[in-house]
């Protein structure tokens, strides 16, 4: 883990995925990642749409100083944790727009062998979390990246999120509890372990 560079990249409208990403950043540092970058995906929604939702507006204002994710962050990282809410069972347009800029890195093979993992949230317990994460991993397969889904590799996954593809939660920061925080930490640990093994294998 000590040689792994971790990027935690999130999109969040009202704060749920921001908090999960913060927990992932914290876990990465505690577990001894060589370096951790915390990045947000650029908000592209019209300001009038943001203003129409008080929680969205408040979160947007509170986090606008967070560094925006760039292609350099993807190239730099050995491991990447993504966190984003579902949109009708798929990725938010903000996230897809970011992914749509990665063609140059993909063509050069610079995204191959990155170890990636995803987290998500939805308005209700069955609001598309699993399909959102599989949509995320579909892009990762095209990159040649290696998904590090948590599966049920720790007992915490049976009581938090209940999702083998990645930690998921009902939307709303108030719905995030200690069990979900522990599940996030386990997912980060698994991602860093796999990235460490991959990096060691490539170096050898």
Domain definitions of the chain by residue range? 5-203
Tokens 């993504």 label which residue? 82
Could you tell me the pLDDT band of residue 204, with boundaries at 50, 70 and 90? low
Q: Which residues pair with 5 in a beta bridge?
A: 35
Q: In this model, does residue 161 exceed pLDDT 80? A: no
Q: In this model, does residue 162 exceed pLDDT 70? A: no
pLDDT for 44-84, tens place per residue? 999 999 999 999 999 999 999 999 999 999 999 999 999 99
Could you tell me the pLDDT band of residue 158, with boundaries at 50, 70 and 90? confident
pTM, rounded to two decimals: 0.95
Residue 79 · residue 191 · CB < 8 Å: yes
Tokens 């509170």 label which residue? 62
Which among 41, 146, 21 is positioned nearest to 91, based on CA atoms?
41
pLDDT at 195: 96
pLDDT at 122: 87
Query: Which CATH number applies to 5-203: 1.10.10.10, 3.90.1640.10, 3.40.50.1970, 3.40.50.360?
Result: 3.40.50.360
């Amino acid at each position: 883990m000590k040689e792994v560079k971790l990027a935690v990249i999130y999109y969040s409208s009202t704060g749920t995925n921001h908090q999960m990403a913060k927990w992932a950043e914290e876990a990465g540092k505690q577990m001894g990642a060589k370096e951790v970058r915390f990045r947000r995906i650029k908000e592209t929604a019209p300001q009038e749409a943001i203003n129409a939702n008080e929680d969205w507006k408040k979160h947007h204002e509170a986090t606008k100083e967070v560094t925006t994710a760039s292609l350099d962050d993807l190239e730099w990282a050995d491991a990447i944790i993504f966190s984003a809410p579902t949109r009708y069972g798929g990725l938010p347009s903000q996230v897809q727009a970011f992914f749509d800029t990665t063609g140059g890195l993909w063509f050069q093979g610079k995204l191959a062998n990155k170890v990636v993992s995803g987290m998500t949230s939805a308005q209700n317990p069955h609001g598309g979390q699993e399909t959102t994460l599989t949509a995320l991993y579909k892009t990762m397969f095209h990159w040649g990246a290696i998904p590090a889904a948590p599966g049920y590799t720790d007992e915490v996954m049976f009581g938090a999120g209940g999702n083998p593809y990645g930690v998921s939660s009902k939307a709303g920061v108030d719905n995030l509890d200690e069990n979900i925080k522990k599940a996030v930490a386990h997912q980060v640990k698994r991602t860093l372990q796999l990235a460490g093994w991959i990096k060691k294998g490539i170096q050898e």
